[in-house]
Structure 1
Amino acid sequence: MTETVLTHPDRMVSVREVFGIDTDLKVPAFAERDDHVPDVDTAYRFNPDVTLAILAGFSRNRRVMVQGLHGTGKSTHIEQVAARLNWPCVRVNLDGHISRLDLVGKDAIVVRDGLQVTEFQEGIVPWALQRPVALIFDEYDAGRPDVMFVIQRILERDGKFTLLDQNRVIHPHPWFRLFATSNTVGLGNLSGLYHGTQVLNHAQMDRWNIVATLNYLPREEEVAIVLARVPGKNYDKGRQLIASMVAVAELTRKGFAAGDLSTLMSPRTVITWAENCEIFRNPALAFRLSFLNKCDEVERPIVAEYYQRCFGEELDESWMRTSEAQ
């Protein structure tokens, strides 16, 4: 079966109309969707600066890295931009199991005309390079050194990719795009929060044309996102409950920044907490199961205190801190 591949964007869209950003910019997009285009999430909230950085990657072929703490929606941000441009998009998580062969390709035994033959099967990098595809490397700072040097060969805007096993040079498709997300900026696990991240080669970091930082959203926007994900809470008391949940999350982030906590609550966790409230009908129990039990036992009284401040309700862990003080 022959794969149908769109060759180039065939229309221009207004950034103001599609993304709600006050600019006259227009960016290329595809009129038709294919199987690799992400689904549109209508509840997603775009950060204007990060969105413009990602759009520069799509329209001007810039290599864009989005850096930030976990749960800020880095990969989703790129995907949702691609979804609105109908741009095919493929994500690769650079965990410890991804090898050079996974990216480049390898010989495999296949059956043709009843006979077993050895045939080269392309990896994700040569496959994407030859198509108008946005390739996203997730957890970029966790990649193995041999994998990172494979990627370095395609970081140049017009970089050619050589398949040594095939004696073949691949020229990038004019509309191939490359993105990455990372928790750090290539300096390793300085905070102690992201074990397994690597100190990246500075020459490689230098090849990323744009590095955007994605922080947590303002409280009102985060509340709106949670309500969009859990519409069952979209009434007066439900909105108050979600606002209190986001307030607890903000306190954990401040506590993390001050060095009081080693764990913080991401927007993803707040959504999980709200969903669990629908199941257990008890915000305190849902909080314990969604976040508190993930925290270090020594830090749980501090987190329970945050909960008490926002909800006016004591948790058992609060009494632990009181008894220890006595």
Structure 2
Amino acid sequence: MTLARPDTTVNAREAFGLDTDLVVPAFREADEHVPDIDADYRFNPDVTRALLAGFTRNRRVLVQGLHGTGKSTHIEQVAARLNWPCLRVNLDGHISRLDLVGRDAVVVREGQQVTEFQEGVVPWALQRPVALVLDEYDAGRPDVMFVLQRLLERDGKLTLTDQNRVLTPHPYFRMFATANTVGLGNLNGLYHGAQRLNHAQIDRWNIVAALNYLPADEEIAIVLARLPQLRSEAGRDLVSSMVAVADLTRQAFRVGDLSTLMSPRTVISWAENVEVFGNTALAFRLSFLNKCDEAERPLIAECFQRCFDQELDESGQLGTAA
């Protein structure tokens, strides 16, 4: 078992721009499990406070929000600035209890085949100063999720029934999760595969933080940071119009006029595709419009027209290339 511990501290005001004097434990050196720092990443203050509480006070933190809001990336970027090892596990419908806990496997020792227990990802992380991030938490099968039930309790431990062992978490093991819903299932039809989770388990998460889309100015800044070639007056105007289109789709989604919305991830893809195809309208069609229901495309085209003051015809071209 790894006995490493944080050996330094990070000032939350300096590292994350928070209005607080909070000092967070951290590591001086990064290992191979520490995410790379994205210098252009924009932190949501409330979510950052919640995550820092997770790292500092060993609180179990669930980050909930619509797709493309950067839930997992937010956790990774906090961990990156703390040099805290971080391991992400995607809880798709094929993840089984054996994947999480471990299983017996046949291995060759000194020329002989022997059966030995191979640890799953949860026991491995549990014994180390690792931030375990359970992605798509609401897509995990409910029966599998019960493996995590006791771990979510204060001073929770993990029982390996096949080994007759009880594992005590490393003092600096941390647990986080991301989800599109809060365990209530696919209520709006947007997230197929989302499960209704046991409320007793949801109740065990100490903190549930909601991560929404960024204000327009910050979203524009992120796109420009990703695409330095657009850092001009014309480029900023283009990106500003793109973000305005995205915001209109989100407003229409909230009131039920659209079943699909543009995430910041899609806006970045659109901007990148403008560079590839040299045409704003064609890039828009290939990046977003073709993902949408045909019956909703006229409304989406209207959103485009309102922001770019040009019609989007059936060919996906503008009257004048933008």
Aligned to 2:225: 228
User: Is the Cα–Cα contact under 8 Å of residues 305 and 318 in structure 1 kept in the other structure?
Assistant: no
Letter in 2 for 1:176: F
Letter in 1 for 2:185: G
Matched, 1:137 2:142: no
User: Is the Cα–Cα contact under 8 Å of residues 8 and 30 in structure 1 kept in the other structure?
Assistant: yes
Q: Give how far 1:318 is off.
A: 11
Aligned to 1:240: 237
User: Is the Cα–Cα contact under 8 Å of residues 142 and 198 in structure 2 kept in the other structure?
Assistant: no
Instruction: Find the aligned partners of 2:303 and 2:256 in 1 and give their Cα distance.
Output: 15
Aligned to 2:39: 42
User: Is the Cα–Cα contact under 8 Å of residues 5 and 172 in structure 2 kept in the other structure?
Assistant: yes
2:63 counterpart (40, 61, 66)? 66
Q: Give how far 1:317 is off.
A: 4.6
2:110 counterpart (105, 110, 113)? 113
Pairs within 5 Å for 1:165-204: 165-204=162-201
Q: Give how far 1:157 is off.
A: 2.5
Instruction: Find the aligned partners of 1:13 and 1:304 in 2 and give their Cα distance.
Output: 47
Instruction: Find the aligned partners of 2:242 and 2:315 in 1 and give their Cα distance.
Output: 17
Instruction: Find the aligned partners of 2:51 and 2:139 in 1 and give their Cα distance.
Output: 22
Pairs within 5 Å for 1:12-23: 12-23=9-20
Aligned to 1:56: 53
User: Is the Cα–Cα contact under 8 Å of residues 126 and 170 in structure 1 kept in the other structure?
Assistant: yes
Instruction: Find the aligned partners of 1:183 and 1:84 in 2 and give their Cα distance.
Output: 25
Matched, 1:156 2:153: yes
2:121 counterpart (113, 119, 124)? 124
Q: Which runs of 5+ in 2 are unaligned?
A: 317-322
Instruction: Find the aligned partners of 2:46 and 2:314 in 1 and give their Cα distance.
Output: 40
Q: Give how far 1:291 is off.
A: 0.2
Instruction: Find the aligned partners of 1:91 and 1:315 in 2 and give their Cα distance.
Output: 40
What's the RMSD between the two structures over aligned residues?
1.3
Instruction: Find the aligned partners of 2:229 and 2:99 in 1 and give their Cα distance.
Output: 43
Name the SS for the 1:117 alignment partner.
strand
Instruction: Find the aligned partners of 1:160 and 1:301 in 2 and give their Cα distance.
Output: 54
Matched, 1:268 2:265: yes
Deviations 1:218-276 (A, max 9, x none): 00000000011111111110110000000000000000001010000000000000000
Aligned length: 316
Instruction: Find the aligned partners of 2:310 and 2:290 in 1 and give their Cα distance.
Output: 18
Instruction: Find the aligned partners of 2:208 and 2:179 in 1 and give their Cα distance.
Output: 10
Aligned to 2:98: 101
User: Is the Cα–Cα contact under 8 Å of residues 63 and 157 in structure 1 kept in the other structure?
Assistant: no
User: Is the Cα–Cα contact under 8 Å of residues 302 and 318 in structure 1 kept in the other structure?
Assistant: no
Q: Which runs of 5+ in 1 are unaligned?
A: 320-326
Q: Give how far 1:77 is off.
A: 0.3
Letter in 1 for 2:22: L
Change (3 A) 1:86 1:6: farther
Instruction: Find the aligned partners of 2:176 and 2:198 in 1 and give their Cα distance.
Output: 17
Report the TM-score, using the length of structure 2 for normalisation. Answer: 0.96
Instruction: Find the aligned partners of 2:38 and 2:3 in 1 and give their Cα distance.
Output: 23
Instruction: Find the aligned partners of 2:277 and 2:314 in 1 and give their Cα distance.
Output: 19
Instruction: Find the aligned partners of 2:235 and 2:227 in 1 and give their Cα distance.
Output: 10
Q: Give how far 1:152 is off.
A: 1.1
Identity across aligned pairs (percent)? 77
Name the SS for the 2:267 alignment partner.
helix
